[in-house]
Structures are given as structure tokens and as C-alpha cells.
């Protein structure tokens, strides 16, 4: 008679419950964000090709601008979670308010830069003469919603730090629905064209920011936290965000270099690269959900002076990352005949796509570890190391990627370079977590 397998240890079950409860709603909220642009594209696309081309340029600029400030979510999550772990909810929310005030100030600064420079920015991105007026219109109007977008990032960080990823999911769903309805009504019902799409997105973003602020303000009043801007707190939030800003810019540079190299390889290669990048980004959202759980959980354990709990949670999340990566890699291989024809019917693009896609599949377990450890170190507030590690990764990746046209092998070689980039990231992050230097307990790092 075979013996039943031993049940998992209680600590493992507890970590699994925490990871699932935080990661699943976080994944839903992350997926909802790119749907905003998809809805805008679907509605504006029926106005004409120049309008859609203008939207594409403006949306790329807006996405870049907002993604640069994603540290507002990451740094706030870590700082708030630490104070939650220390049992000081008033201080946790006060820290979150500093992040929100910083978001407002940065948003105003971005508007001040974007409004007068919109024509120049559109021209730099290579918009055609026909598309440029639409791109400028959309960019100028949508930029008015950037403060709200940044408030959403910071407030999301507050709630994640408070171990709440459900509220951001509900707000994201509501914002997505409102954006779709407003876009349809303003573009076609009111006859505002692409300007209507921009205004619809602004209104939806402002509504989301208001919803977040209501939740945070209620929490502040419940726990007696001040809502007034504090110069020292805002400055501390900015200082904590600078290393994460360097990390994000370095990562964006990697993606830009990869796209530029793919474009040099030819139209077929850049088309195939865009398809792979879209798929890679979708899987990144799923892995990032585990990283978000890591930020919140690790920050809380360290704030509670529980170094052992932080190590155990880190170990368990790495296991989750590896398993998730293996599953995603297998899905890519098995589902290739199903999803590749959905993206393109061009046989040349498909032939270029398939071998590179196998490289992506093989590298997914590495990506799983990278995303998890990235989240763990963010939760620990180890932003300075993350910045240096990403700069080292960029320094290794850039020359290899730029040599791809010389080395040969086309897009497949480029994605081997991307796999190298993820491997370097994994090694640098693993060395840091293994050293234990990231484990700094207490309400502040």
C-alpha cells in the first residue's frame, strides 16, 4: 500500500495563499491597462488611417512618459508595506500620501513640457504629414490626464502596500468600461473625432484617480493620518524613486535597442519581432503579478522584523516563478500553430517568427525568476542595487545586440541576445538575494 504524500508545510501553504490572493487581482489590473489603448485604437481606427496612425504615435509617447514614472507604484508599495508590517498604519498611509503628492507635482511638470513641445515630439517619432495633426491633437489633450495617470500609479502602490490588490482591479475594470463608453460617445455621438477619444481617456483616467483618492482619504481619516503635503516626505519619496527610475530607463533602452536592431534586419524581421514582443509583454504581465505580490509581502515581513519569513516567502515565490515560466514556455510551443496565424498570414513572417519564438519559450523559466527577484528586491527597498544591476545588464546586452546584423542569424540571434539579457539579470539578482544584504528589517530601510 503506497503512502500518501506528506502535506505541504503550514508556512508554504500560508505563502501560497498570500501570493495567490495578491497576484491574481494584480494580474487582472495589469491586463486592463493596455486595453485602454486597444479600445482607443478600435474606435479611432474607423475614422481613417491617418487618425489611427496619429493615435499610434501619440499613444507611444504617452506610454513612454507614464512608464518612466512607474517607480511611483514600486517605491510606494515597498515603503507602505514596511510600515504595515511594523503595525503603524497611520505612518503607512502618510507615506503613501507623500507618493501621491509627488505624482501630482510630476504630472504638472510633464504637462508643462508636453503642451508646447507636442509638434516637435510628434515629428521626432516620424509621424507623416497626414497623421501629425491628429497625433498633436491627441497628445495635447491626453497629456492633461497625465497627473491623474501618475496619481493612479502612486495610489495603486499605496493599496498594494496595504496588501490590497482587489481595489485596483475593480477600479481598472470600471475605468476600462468608462473609457470604452466615453470614447464611443464622444467620437461618434458628439462627432469630436480623435479629440473625443482623447477627452474620453482623460475623463476615465481622472475618474480612476478620484476613486483611488476616495479610498486613500478614507483610510487616512480612519487612522488619523495627515493629508497635507510634507516637503520632507515628498523629497524622500523622490529620492527612493531615483534608482528605480534609472532601472526603468535602462530596461526601456534594452527594448528600444532590440526594436532598432530588428528594424535594421528588414521589414519581415521587424514585423515578426513586433508579434513576439507583444506576446512577451503579455507573459511579462502574468509574471509581474507575482512580482507585485513579492513587493507587498516582502516589505511587510521586513517591516515586522521577520527576516526568516522574508527568506521563506522569497524562496517560495522563486519556485512559483520557475513553475510559471515552465508552463508559459510549454504553452508557447504547444499553441504556436493556433496563435501565429492570428497575427499574420504572411509565410515569410511566420518562418522568421517560429525559431525565435522557441528561444522565447526556452527563456521563460529564467524570466520567471527575474521578475520574482526583481519584486523581492523592490519590496526590500533595494533600489540602488537594482539600478546598478540593470546598468550592467544594458552594458552587456547593447554591444551583443548591435552586432547581430554582423553575426548573422537574423531575428533568432537577436532573441538569443534578449535571452542573454534576462540571464544576466537573473545572475545579478540571484547573487544579491543569496548574499542576504537586501534583508534590512524595520519600518524604514
- Contact between 277 and 100 under an 8 Å Cβ cutoff? The reply is no
- Contact between 213 and 73 under an 8 Å Cβ cutoff? The reply is no
43: CB partners within 8 A, 6+ apart:
180, 183, 184, 187, 188, 197
Residue 66: name the closest of 95, 106, 113, 7 by CA: 106
pLDDT number for residue 1: 37
Q: Is 222 buried (19+), middle (13-18) or exposed (0-12) by CB count in 10 A?
A: exposed
pLDDT number for residue 34: 66
Contacts 24+ apart (CB under 8 A), 381-385: 381/75, 381/78, 381/79, 381/82, 381/240, 381/299, 381/440, 381/445, 382/432, 382/437, 382/438, 383/71, 383/75, 383/240, 383/241, 383/242, 383/243, 383/244, 383/247, 384/243, 385/432, 385/437, 385/438
Contacts 24+ apart (CB under 8 A), 123-128: 125/57, 125/60, 125/61, 126/57, 127/53, 127/54, 127/57, 128/50, 128/53
pLDDT number for residue 9: 55
pLDDT number for residue 284: 85
The series of mean pLDDT values per 10 residues for the chain, 445 residues long, is: 47 81 84 70 78 81 84 91 92 92 95 93 80 90 94 93 92 90 89 91 94 94 89 90 92 88 83 80 84 92 93 93 93 83 76 89 95 94 95 97 90 95 97 94 83
Euclidean distance between CA atoms 73 and 241, whole angstroms: 9
pLDDT number for residue 281: 79
* Residue 235: count of CB within 10 angstroms of its CB: 12
- Contact between 236 and 254 under an 8 Å Cβ cutoff? The reply is no
* Residue 11: count of CB within 10 angstroms of its CB: 13
Please name the residue that has the C-alpha cell 487612522. Answer: 223
Residue 61: name the closest of 135, 116, 134, 130 by CA: 135
CA angle 95, 99, 102 (to 5 degrees): 135
pLDDT number for residue 38: 67
pLDDT number for residue 6: 45
Q: Provide the whole-model pTM.
A: 0.86
Which DSSP letter does residue 161 get?
Answer: H
Euclidean distance between CA atoms 2 and 5, whole angstroms: 9
What are the Cα distances from residue 38, in Å, to 46, 137, 206?
13, 19, 19
Contacts 24+ apart (CB under 8 A), 65-68: 65/110, 65/114, 65/146, 66/146, 66/149, 66/150, 66/153, 67/248, 67/252, 68/245, 68/248, 68/249, 68/252
Amino acid at each position: 500500500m503506497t503512502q500518501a504524500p506528506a502535506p505541504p508545510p503550514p508556512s508554504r501553504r500560508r505563502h501560497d495563499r498570500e501570493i495567490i490572493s495578491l497576484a491574481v487581482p494584480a494580474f487582472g489590473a495589469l491586463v486592463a491597462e493596455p486595453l485602454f489603448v486597444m479600445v482607443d485604437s478600435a474606435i479611432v481606427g474607423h475614422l481613417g488611417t491617418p487618425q489611427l496612425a496619429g493615435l499610434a504615435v501619440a499613444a507611444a509617447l504617452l506610454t513612454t512618459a507614464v512608464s518612466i514614472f512607474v517607480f511611483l507604484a514600486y517605491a510606494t508599495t515597498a515603503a507602505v508595506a514596511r510600515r504595515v508590517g511594523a503595525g503603524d498604519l497611520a505612518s503607512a498611509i502618510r507615506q503613501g500620501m507623500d507618493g501621491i503628492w509627488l505624482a501630482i507635482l510630476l504630472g504638472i511638470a510633464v504637462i508643462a513640457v508636453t503642451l508646447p513641445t507636442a509638434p516637435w515630439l510628434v515629428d521626432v517619432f516620424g509621424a507623416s504629414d497626414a497623421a501629425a495633426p491628429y497625433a498633436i491633437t491627441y497628445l495635447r489633450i491626453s497629456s492633461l490626464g497625465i497627473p491623474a495617470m501618475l496619481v493612479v500609479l502612486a495610489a495603486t502602490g499605496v493599496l498594494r502596500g496595504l496588501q490590497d490588490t482587489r481595489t485596483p482591479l475593480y477600479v481598472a475594470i470600471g475605468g476600462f468600461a468608462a473609457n470604452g463608453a466615453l470614447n464611443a460617445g464622444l467620437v461618434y455621438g458628439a462627432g469630436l473625432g480623435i479629440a473625443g477619444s482623447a477627452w474620453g481617456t482623460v475623463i476615465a483616467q481622472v475618474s480612476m484617480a478620484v476613486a483611488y483618492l476616495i479610498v486613500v482619504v478614507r483610510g487616512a481619516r480612519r487612522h488619523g493620518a495627515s493629508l497635507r503635503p510634507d516637503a520632507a516626505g515628498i523629497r524622500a519619496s523622490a529620492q527612493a524613486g531615483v534608482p528605480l527610475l534609472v532601472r526603468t530607463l535602462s530596461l526601456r533602452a534594452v527594448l528600444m535597442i532590440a526594436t532598432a536592431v530588428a528594424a535594421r534586419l528588414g521589414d519581415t524581421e521587424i514585423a515578426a519581432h513586433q508579434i513576439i514582443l507583444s506576446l512577451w509583454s503579455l507573459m511579462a504581465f502574468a509574471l509581474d503579478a507575482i512580482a507585485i505580490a513579492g513587493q507587498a509581502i516582502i516589505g511587510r515581513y521586513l517591516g515586522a522584523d521577520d527576516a526568516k519569513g522574508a527568506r521563506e516567502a522569497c524562496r517560495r515565490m522563486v519556485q512559483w516563478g520557475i513553475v510559471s515560466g515552465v508552463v508559459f514556455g510549454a504553452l508557447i510551443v504547444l499553441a504556436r500553430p493556433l496563435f501565429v496565424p492570428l497575427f499574420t498570414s504572411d509565410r515569410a513572417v511566420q518562418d522568421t517568427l517560429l525559431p525565435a519564438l522557441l528561444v522565447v519559450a526556452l527563456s521563460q523559466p529564467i524570466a520567471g525568476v527575474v521578475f520574482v527577484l526583481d519584486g523581492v528586491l523592490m519590496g526590500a527597498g533595494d533600489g540602488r542595487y537594482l539600478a546598478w544591476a540593470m546598468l550592467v545588464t544594458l552594458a552587456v546586452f547593447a554591444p551583443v545586440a548591435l552586432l547581430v546584423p554582423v553575426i548573422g542569424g537574423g531575428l533568432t540571434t537577436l532573441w538569443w541576445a534578449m535571452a542573454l539579457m534576462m540571464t544576466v539579470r537573473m545572475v545579478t539578482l540571484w547573487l544579491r538575494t543569496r548574499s542576504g544584504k537586501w534583508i534590512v528589517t524595520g519600518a524604514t530601510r
